[in-house]
Structure 1
Amino acid sequence: MRLLSARPQQPPGNAAGPDALDAFVAGGTNSSYTFTVVSSTQAGAIDQILPGPTLNDNGVVAFSSGNGLFALSQTGTLVALGSGVAFGETVWIDNAGQVIVVAEVSGIRELRRYRGSQPGTFDVLAKVGVDEFTPSPSGIFTSDIDLTGLLDFPSVSDDGSVFYVGTGAGVTGRFVIELNALQDDDGALLGDADDVLRPVALNGGRVVLLSGQFAGLSGPAIAIVEGGTVQPISNGVVASPGQFAGLLPMIGATADGSMVTFFGKEKTPSGTGALTLFASVATATGRKVHALSPVAGFLGQRDLEIVFRHPDRLPTTLRTMPFPAPLHVLGGLLRLGHLSLSDRLALLRIGPDLLFRDPDSDPYLRSVTVRQWLDARGQSDANRTKLWDIIAIGALNDATDRITAALFLKVLRSAFLGSRMNSSLVLPLRGLSSVLVDGAAEFLQRHGGTVLLNTAAEQVRMENGAVKSVRLTGGLDVQPRTVISAVPYFDIPKVFGSGEAVGLTHLERLVSSPIVTIHLWFDAHFVQERIAALTGSPIHWVFNKSRIYPERKSTLMYLALVVSGAHAMAEMEKEEIVQLATGELKRFYPAAPLARVIHSLVIKEKRATFSPMVGSEKVRPPHTTAVRNLFLAGDWTDTKLPATIEGAVQSGYAAAEAVKAQLP
């Protein structure tokens, strides 16, 4: 994991003002960024970098690793500011070098201020159970309120104004609290119990945030607030509910608030627009909003949320908690109501392996299946069938009595010990080709590359241990300096004559595992959630495409049911599969019998992925081959990851690095 700093190259001419900002920051032909690695876990001093780093105007970077707090000077000197406690993800540094962060000590959360000039020393600015604050505006409450909760979203401005989010005794909702050294801290009740808010402190005791409780506004808005008053100040509305169909609490701002950046979905005549980065710029006549860059085609969760459906009881939901890793996922697991208390406590037995075993090298984990590992760790049948099997089969695409425990633990370590984003789900809003491939093709073409569609490699000719030419369909011959092959393992012999011709042996030991997707359209809507896991069912996942694709207006409900490791189902007839699927929906959804199937489509991917069976890591090849200018990419190569999109992307990076290392 690396922490990068991005520096824009000088824009052409003397462009200035909002229009120049839009053209330059948004990208396109007038924008170019260079990236510098400022810190990396590869160096060994830091085991992880959480996704909440901060940078001040002097170029000093501060960030959290979960168990450590660090600052990095302009000269590249890494300073350990604090350790020995659990630090939150979000860190904020002002121009004086003061770093604000939430820390947890013996289960008690406190807001700390560190100084870059005095590593290891800190002030406690607020503490759960100790501090109190005065709610404002006056007249709503008559006395101070005890601080009962402290969220991981503090912020400090360049003039020292500090804001944070907390909860108060006896009051439902979340306060945005301003620290004041001269009198009681003031807190405005600006959020419901689940609102994130994420305040960004501005100079002069002002703060910009997303809230649904601004007076006079009909929905959630982003506004600049001053003096703890709920009513936004004059010219303080940055993004109003009338203009946007959705806003995310991911906000940035200049110190004076003249420009505020945020993510949102702008309203369009046909419904809602794509998620886009916007800038709201203050002008003499008001604020002008500029769309900077669309976020292509994905719906991402801020925090993990999975609905578990059961045939014999009400659904339960797995949600991550507002705690640092690994407590954010563990807290959610311990609240799963469909597991007994003893079963939930038994989940803790995987902890030692999670913390202390390396799945990339541990011989025991590589020698046992997931089922054997779970049994050895005292996991009950209920834990296995109602939780672990669902996660393992979904991530590794095969049954737990076939797949290696090493890769499953790798998935769990990423979810438990990584950032909050690692455990969240991301759903494509369009087909994966449109979301992933089209943008990549456009990038290549903009940078001088050529993309040939509907073109296959018919023959690869090699001379003196190197690829000499590639014959394409249509008779075209190309003579490449370097070839990266992304064909699947089962097509290697077809393209290269044999695996041995390029130094690949034992490819026959890589076994494919199928995925079956059942697309169903109903005349009535009976599924409310976007995604659900079915426990104790041959159907693993239900994706409600009608809710995932809200722009596609239709009276029909569109569901996609996914079965991983579907060896038996892949051999069934379509009618039999549809009958099984509709029967399972009736078991899990009480209103399903009232709906009729209008249309159905079954897609069988018999060789969807390789099966990560015990011992498969021994035959997953590296990205280099016996042919000096031939390199391999694909999720089946030795990425140390399962056959996922993440694995495919990692293989692409690794292949590119191997090519760069060989170039003169």
Structure 2
Amino acid sequence: MSGRNLRSSRAVVVGGGLAGVTSALRLADAGLDVTLLEGRPRLGGLAFSFRRGDLSVDNGQHVYLRCCTGYRWFLDRIDGAHLAPLQDRLDVPVLDVGRLAGPRLGRLRRTGLPVPLHLAAGLAAYPHLSLAEKAGVARAALALGRLDPADPALDGIDFATWLQRHGQSQRTIEALWDLVGVATLNATAPNASMALAAMVFKTGLLSEPGAADIGWAAVPLGELHDTLARKALDSAGVRTQLRTRVGSLTRTDEGRWAVGTDSELIEAETVVLAVPQGEAHGLLPDGAIDDPGRLLDIADAPILNVHVVYDRKVLRRPFFAALGSPVQWVFDRTEQSGLQGGGQYLALSQSAAQGEIDLPVAELRRRYLPELERLLPAARGAGIRDFFVTRERNATFAPAPGVGRLRPGAGTRAQGLHLAGAWTATGWPATMEGAVRSGFSAADSALRVLGRPHEHPLQEAA
């Protein structure tokens, strides 16, 4: 042990992202003594905030939907639901600048009618598709509704191939399917597993009328995923250690787990590894899962966020999506950031950003400021108080065809060792919802092994 302290804990959770925090809360709520270890100086994983001068900046724009029952449980559990409100009804402004007449505004909206009629009026009024294309969308949606996202055959084909087989034009894919799919899957249709695409669209658009209503944090993400999460963990009796990296995971002679950090060795009956797949691969003992090398085959996909602070108000909506432009989604972050001195702070969320993630800031500035002026006439002539970017090169796992067979479940062959993380087999893409659900699955797996089954509030929605 080379001078390291030795102590024990009934359960150890390695990783303080949404998956790890969820697992720790669930285990503590079941009465276990829990230690949570996180290498960073904060909780929240890849959904966090930082300071830039007087601004509180989210590393990226994160949203959730009403159908995200896991993340909504998480918000309730940390007493933060009121800080991340949902729309009353789905309403997405969509600006198309790919026309000579200038930007044209359309909206994707729902009504209160039953599924699938709740989207009919919005689709009929959507100006970015022709009448024939709208009819084709309706036929494809009905076909999609008959699919089982858990069918392994769907994981072997890409979303674009399925859409083309069902008569979807390239314009329809761009103006509707990819508009939603790129933001939720972090991949364009040719690069997305049909199984994951079916799950997103069937759950979000075809499960219940309000399923796709959008919610986002009205405060910096750090207030939710770090400050309130830490308060909830403390109240539950979880011992949280930040700046604590785990370097080893071994079995003791007594059959317990020894979790090694730089300063101590913690013995536990059960361990949840809630870390990225590469890190999990490095810690897994031999024989814990079949073909552990497959974890290294789960590729990552980047997300780029472009942050612009103007000297005046240039956008009168909370957010919009764009067509005919490299700009994807734009959010007003003025109030959440605490911006002082007037002006407006916009954040551009650019998913599937493989071609841009490493571009210099100056080049991104040349690319995106003129595009914002095309989209927002009020931005023409406005002064730029600040321009910066945040890059998450490993923001999500890549939802490529075939990824489903690579994702392991929560349980392992090693007694008392469990896996969590959005990259595990949740059936969801790499979202905050997927992360929380993975934390539930890992905690449930651990409690079953310990003979402590616990009520699962997500079972109906899972």
Same fold (TM > 0.5): yes
Counterpart code for 2:410: H
- Listed as ranges, the gaps of 5+ residues in structure 1 are 1-32, 35-274, 277-292
Does the Cα contact within 8 Å between 1:467 and 1:483 map onto a contact in 2? no
Pick from 82, 89, 92: which aligns with 1:306?
A: 92
Paired letter, 1:302: D
> 1:557-596 residue pairs with structure 2 within 5 A?
557-596=344-383
Corresponding residue SS for 2:380: helix
Matched to 1:320, the amino acid is: R
What's 1:459 paired with? 248
- Is the Cα–Cα contact under 8 Å of residues 304 and 423 in structure 1 kept in the other structure? yes
Match of 2:419 in 1: 632
TM-score (norm 2): 0.75
Q: Which has the higher strand share?
A: 1
Match of 1:318 in 2: 108
Match for residue 491 of structure 1 among 260, 271, 279:
279
Question: What is the CA distance between 1:463 and its match in structure 2?
Answer: 4.3
Amino acid at match of 1:398: A
Q: Deviations over 1:63-120 (max 9, x none)?
A: xxxxxxxxxxxxxxxxxxxxxxxxxxxxxxxxxxxxxxxxxxxxxxxxxxxxxxxxxx
C-alpha deviations, 1:242-281, integer Å up to 9, x for none?
A: xxxxxxxxxxxxxxxxxxxxxxxxxxxxxxxxx99xxxxx
Partner SS for 2:394 = strand
- Report the 3-state secondary structure (helix = DSSP H, G, I; strand = E; otherwise coil) of the residue aligned with 2:430: coil
- 8 Å CA contact 1:460–1:467 kept in 2: the answer is no
Which residue of 2 is the match for residue 161 of structure 1?
A: none
CA distance in 2, matches of 1:351, 1:637: 28
Structure-1 residue corresponding to 2:295: 507
TM-score under structure 1 length normalisation: 0.53
Map of 1:521 onto structure 2: 309
Q: Is 2:162 aligned against 1:373?
A: yes
2:185 paired with 1:399:
no
Matched residue, 2:332: 544
Greater Rg by CA: 1
Q: Is the aligned partner of 1:618 residue 2:405?
A: yes
Match of 2:171 in 1: 382
8 Å contact from structure 2 (residues 274, 419) kept in 1 = yes
Question: Structure 1 counterpart of 2:299, which letter?
Answer: V
Q: Give the deviation of 1:444 after TM superposition.
A: 2.3
**Structure 1 position 360 matched with structure 2 position 147:** no
Query: Structure 2: which amino acid aligns with 1:606?
Result: R
Root mean square deviation of aligned Cα = 2.5
Distance 1:317 1:529 in 2: 12
Contact 1:639–1:647 at 8 Å: present in 2 too?
Answer: yes
Residue deviations 1:350-397, cap 9 Å, x none? 13322221111162x222211111111111122111111111110100
**Counterpart residue type for residue 125 of structure 2:** R
* 1:348 has 2:138 as partner: yes
Moved over 3 A (4+): 293-296, 463-467, 493-496, 498-503, 548-554
Contact 1:328 1:416 in 2 (8 A): no
1:535-560 deviation line (CA, Å, top 9, x unaligned) = 122221101112x6397554121000
| 2:257–2:270 CA contact under 8 A, matched in 1 | no
Secondary structure at the aligned position of 1:354 is classed as helix
User: Which residue pairs with 2:428 in the alignment?
Assistant: 641
**Partners of 1:410 and 1:641 within 8 A in 2:** yes
Answer 1 or 2: higher relative contact order, Cα 8 Å, separation at least 6. Answer: 2
Higher mean C-alpha displacement, 628-637 vs 337-346 = 337-346
- In structure 1, the partner of 2:266 is 478
SS in 2 for 1:461: strand
**8 A Cα contact 2:155 2:403, kept in partner:** no
Calculate percent identity across the aligned residue pairs.
Answer: 27
- 1:477 and 1:330 map into 2 onto residues whose CA distance is 59
1:297 pairs, out of 66, 83, 92, with: 83
- CA pair 407-294 structure 1, distance change in 2 beyond 3 A: closer
Q: Which residue of 2 aligns with 1:608?
A: 395
Q: Which amino acid aligns with 1:333?
A: L
1:432 to 218, 221, 224: 221
CA deviation string 1:503-551 (max 9, x = no partner): 52312221110000011101121111111111122221101112x6397
Q: Do 1:302 and 1:424's aligned partners in 2 also have CA atoms closer than 8 Å?
A: yes
Separation in 2, partners of 1:608, 1:294: 24
Query: Which residue number corresponds to residue 10 of structure 1?
Result: none
Q: Deviations over 1:286-315 (max 9, x none)?
A: xxxxxxx87442131011111101113321
Cα pair distance change 1:466/1:571, threshold 3 Å? farther
Change (3 A) 1:550 1:461: closer
CA drift of 1:335 comes to 1.8
Give the distance between the partners of 1:395 and 1:470, measured in 2 at CA: 35
Instruction: Provide Cα deviations, 1:150-180, integer angstroms capped at 9, x if missing partner.
Output: xxxxxxxxxxxxxxxxxxxxxxxxxxxxxxx
Does the 8 Å contact 2:220/2:337 carry over to 1? no
Deviation at 1:426, TM superposition (A): 0.7
Query: Deviation at 1:594?
Result: 1.5
What residue is the counterpart of 1:264 in the other structure?
none
| Residue number in structure 1 paired with 2:118 | 328
